[in-house]
Chain A
Amino acid sequence: MGRELKVSSIERGTVIDHIRAGNALKVVRILGIEGSGATVSIVMNVSSGTMGRKDILKVEDRTLSREEVDKIALVAPGATINIIEDFEVVEKHGVELPGEIGTILGCPNEGCVTNSGEPVSPRFTVVGREPVRLRCVYCEEETEDVEENLL
């Protein structure tokens, strides 16, 4: 097919494709894989037929489970997850925003108990999907500003 791989092939791992351009680092942060020891390569601003420009992320030697990746739908709703084994794509699926989001965002309400020095981490219920709308489980304030509130 003569298609060129922008990053060297990996033998085993996970490739996250079709990330909205500019959001690859946010995906890395949401996945919390910086400190995991895994080799991560990021390709930014690749031209893509369907979405203009996109980012791609490759995580070597780690197969990310659905629960782990679904939360990236917050910043990369159209992403495709490709599981690679023996250099081949053996599984491919999209991402779907889960009903509850754990501690990857802070609560925008300054008066919220999660911002008051108490031993509690913010959690959110997804109350709208397009656009994404989250309600803090604690103070019940709702927000659509997902990216600004990423921790």
Chain B
Amino acid sequence: MLPGRDIISMMDLSREGIEEVVDLAGELEDERSGRLEGKLVALLFYEPSTRTRLSFEAASKMLGAETISIDSKEASSMAKGETLADTVRVVEGYCDLIVLRHPAEGSARMAAEFSGVPLINAGDGSNEHPTQTLLDLYTIWKWRGGLDGLTVTVAGDLRYGRTVHSLARALALFEDVTLTTVSPDNLRLPEDLVGQLDGLEVREGDDLEGAVESAEVLYLTRIQRERFADPEEYRKVAGSYRVMPELLEGRDLVLMHPLPRVDEISPEVDDMPQGRYFEQSANGVAVRKALLSLLLEDGDG
């Protein structure tokens, strides 16, 4: 069901592919085993990323695989002398799978073409970060047992926030999903994208209070200061997208956030049953275990 041996972009994944990953993530979540014993996973991180890298490392080790890695400092000095294509051709010679984080958009697709072993995109610039989207989907799936019929509100920076774009595309593959958007005028979901979300009902909401009325999931993303010319304007907007306990109190709703957050979620929300962002982040390990298993066990029959 997966699109070949690589995980490059959510655009390659079908509903069945997504279901295969979340199902297996559910099975493997608590597993610590030797399932992937004897396998060597190479983590090539050309950009700093602590969470994603640790999460891949944890996933590999929990299933018995070994990891080797280069961090962003080593990678950037290497990048001066050698193309990514060459590095990949060297590394694939002695590992069983490559996890790549690289600043150039499209780098993962290219690297996979040069690699004889499976490759997972752990973020290619501002383009794709499919394991983030899969862990978002897994979090929702785990909480409500499926994705059909979901009502979700996405709020914050919907224009530049790629996590939201990928999530919206993925949700469009499921039945009867309603997506309500709440964002400042200059940070709306791009129209091109909305045009491509066949099958998803997209509604524009006015404010957070209104939009959480009917939503099962509130997915919040950070609004960056740089997007506003006027600092006063930024302060006003950011203030109106801050989630306080009162917004969630008594509601049957989960609050998600791709992290890191700055101050868009009040710390008092952390201990409320609705605040699920740390659990969401931890779910990344289960999803990555599933992907590693699917890609590494394939060849062994």
- Seen from chain A, the residues whose Cβ lies within 8 Å of a Cβ on chain B are 107, 109, 111-114, 116-120, 136-142
Contacts and interface: CB of A to CB of B under 8 A. Distances in A.
A140 B105 contact: yes
A113 B106 contact: yes
Contacts of A140: 9, 11, 105-106, 127-128
Contacts, number: 58
A113 B105 contact: yes
Main SS of the interface on chain B? mixed
Q: Which of B11, B103, B127 has the most CB of A within 10 A?
A: B127
Contacts of B127: 139-141
B84 interface: yes
Contacts of B110: 113-114, 118, 120, 138
Interface string B93-104: 000000000111
Contacts of A139: 104-106, 124-125, 127
Contact of B113 (A111, A117, A120, A136): A120
B50 interface: no
Contacts of A137: 106, 109
Chain B interface residue number, banded: 20 to 34
Given A111-B125, A140-B128, A118 B105 contact: no
Interface in B104-159: 104-107, 109-110, 113, 124-128
A138 B106 contact: yes
A137 B106 CA distance: 8
B83 interface: yes
Contacts of B192: 142
A28 B88 CA distance: 37
B11 A112 contact: no
Contacts of A118: 83-85, 104, 107, 110
Nearest to B109: A138
Q: Max chain A CB contacts within 10 Å: which of B110, B124, B125? A: B110
A34 B126 CA distance: 38
